[in-house]
Structure 1
Amino acid sequence: MLAFQFPGQGAQSAGFLHRLPEHAAVRDTLAEASQVLGIDVLTLDTSAALRSTVAVQVGLVVAGVATVRALADSQLTPDVSAGLSVGAYAAAVSCGALQFDDALRMVRKRAELMEAAYPSGYGLAAISGLSEHQLEVVADELARRGVPRAYIGNVNAPRQIVMAGSDAALEALVERALAAGARKATRLEVSVPSHCELLAGATEELIDYAREVPFHTPRSIYVGNRGGRPLHTAQAIRDDLATNMRYTVRWFDALTVMLEMGARVLVEAPPGQVLTDIVRENLPEATAIAASSMAHERLVATVRRRLAVDRH
């Protein structure tokens, strides 16, 4: 089985939309996005533009859908789609639950709400080498000392956790986590405290917005963020997308479920290969391929070859 995985905020890098393959489906996707949003989306990936949460989140969805369409042109369509955080919007388009134009508008609304709620002074930190429980203990200990609360944002792997909170909370947590034995603890290029209670108010506004967005029964499997489980109805996918900025992303649970369902070849949409590295490090029985790591023709050939091996 073929799975597509779509990265979240933090995977972006300057020029990532310009590095998409020269392909008619990519050009058409860029043109469609520009028309829907009323801007040239190729202006969204400069270093200056990427300081905007809106530019980053919209750009990631555009890159994900462009990749899906280019691969579909070679008859490579996923059995399973999942995306981390904002990547879930591209996954919803990939499985047919959401139209691309509606995804773009909803993502823009989502990002605007997040940016308005926390224009500065907040963000995310990635911690490697400690478990979710260990980091909860550290966060509780710091909160008892009067340090602002930090929250579990993403569980990307058993010992690869992303924490959310204010700059003061994350600065204290990074220091304490390293002292407690973390291998690595670094701030991410994300300026909002995603996936925690700090975004409860913004989530309620997005839920209201999403009521008017048409969703559809997925044509293939969609694996959600909050529970890391397959979701089979339009309403369940709407709820997952509208609320995922408030709740912990159970990414490793989602990966585990995809493999349990039979996914063996996992293609990560651009940019980067954060999700590919998680699979390679933790789930060696699967083949993980980052689309951005090779030319499009080679990607198509590699995926076909790996799927043929898997079938035999």
Structure 2
Amino acid sequence: MSIAFLFPGQGAQSPGFLHRLPDHPSVAATLQEATTVLGREILELDGGAALQSTVAVQLGLLVAGVATARALAAEGVAPAMVAGLSVGSFAAAVTAGALALADALRLVDRRARLMEQACPAGFGMVAVTGLPQRRVEAIIGAIHGPAAPLYLANLNGPAEFVLSGADAALDRAIETAQQAGARRAERLAVAVPSHCPLMDGAAAALTAAIESVPVAAPRIPVVGNRRARALRDAAAVWEELATNLAHPVRWSDSVTLMAEHGATAFLEMPPGTVLTRLAAAEFPDLPGRCMESLSLSGARTFAARAGDR
């Protein structure tokens, strides 16, 4: 059996998600490490008001993913490969041994602040479900312009997409998508326009910041967002972490790659359930569960049963 650990990105958060992590020594140690490195209490970052901050959300997602993966490893559940959506790539890199948690915390803090500074207000992201890619691209083409930038940011499935842009463009995109028959077209809980050229400046600044950070070859493959390829050396992981915020997320292709490279089960780190749902939609015969609703003992049982398939 080859389990792939999936680490969610911004938009998966919900109030109290750090307080719902498993009661385990590895989780407690990770929370304490994050608090020490950041100089602030990490458990204060998952309140309703705190989650209005991109910085708080991204740091919380990183810590939740790493803490849970460490607890699973201590209980004998280890991944054969990892993938993270957007900022989830940092948790994936830490879990694969390519990046130290302390360095990841500092980089994610810097990343989130750069993203907020690049587009401090009036921007966001919209999920569109139930339309083919060509129709979504046509909607974008009809709306995009200097005064209303709009981009295709995430390709999450054959009919699952996320758009980034200015509020006015996003509002028009929602209306147009609904008129075109989309099953869903709604704003996400993301206050910045990720994975598009609006983040080029932030990516350049992050690249400069990450140059001095040690990145190692991962112990297991890390599947990247930009090219949906297995990253097996330090340089490839470095490029992914430094630049993925300004490029579309090819999540559907990433899941396909994991299945083609031998993943026989998917286990989603907290918070949220979106990545489990997306994997099940494309590979219904491969078992998948999310730690949001699974105990550590349940995860051991899931891994054992998946291994018996």
Instruction: Give the TM-score normalised by structure 1.
Output: 0.97
Output the amino acid matched with 1:221: P
Q: Report the equivalent of 1:5.
A: 6
1:76 is aligned to 77
- Read off the aligned partner of 1:76 and give its amino acid letter: V
The aligned amino acid for 1:279 is A
Contact 1:3 1:79 in 2 (8 A): yes
Q: 3-state DSSP class of the match of 1:164? A: strand
- Structure 1 residue matching 2:191: 3-state secondary structure: coil
Per the alignment, residue 140 of structure 2 pairs with: 139
Q: Which residue of 2 aligns with 1:212?
A: 212
SS in 1 for 2:186: strand
Query: Residue 103 of structure 1 corresponds to which residue in structure 2?
Result: 104
CA contact (8 A) 2:144 2:151 kept: no
5+ residue gaps, structure 2, are none
Deviations 1:208-237 (A, max 9, x none): 001011000110011001011101111111
Distance 1:132 1:57 in 2: 28
- Aligned-residue identity in percent: 47
- Paired residue type of 1:86: V
Provide the C-alpha distance between the structure 2 equivalents of 1:77 and 1:209, rounded to a whole number of angstroms.
31
Please provide the CA RMSD for this pair: 1.1
State the TM-score, normalized to the length of structure 2: 0.98
Whether the 8 Å CA contact 1:131–1:161 is kept in 2: the answer is no
Runs of 4+ in 1 over 2 A off after TM superposition: none
For residues 95-144 of structure 1, the C-alpha deviation after alignment (integer angstroms, 9 at most, x for no partner) is 11111111111000000000111121100000001122211111111237
Contact 1:9/1:60 (<8 A) preserved: yes
Gaps of 5+ in 1: none
Q: Which residue number in structure 1 is paired with residue 154 of structure 2? A: 154
Q: How many pairs align?
A: 308
Partner of 1:182: 182
- Displacement after TM superposition at 1:13 (Å): 0.2
Return the alpha-carbon distance in structure 2 between the equivalents of residues 36 and 64 of structure 1: 17
Report the Cα distance in structure 1 between the residues aligned to 2:252 and 2:217, rounded to whole angstroms. Answer: 25
Deviation of 1:282 after TM superposition, in Å, equals: 2.1
Determine the structure 2 residue equivalent to 1:304.
304
Q: CA deviation at 1:147?
A: 6.1
Q: 1:178 to 1:147 in 2, by over 3 A?
A: farther
Tell me if the contact between 1:44 and 1:50 (Cα under 8 Å) persists in the aligned partners: yes
Q: Aligned with 1:13: secondary structure?
A: coil
Q: Determine the C-alpha separation between the residues in 2 that align with 1:225 and 1:23.
A: 30
Structure 1 CA distance for aligned equivalents of residues 182 and 149 of structure 2: 19
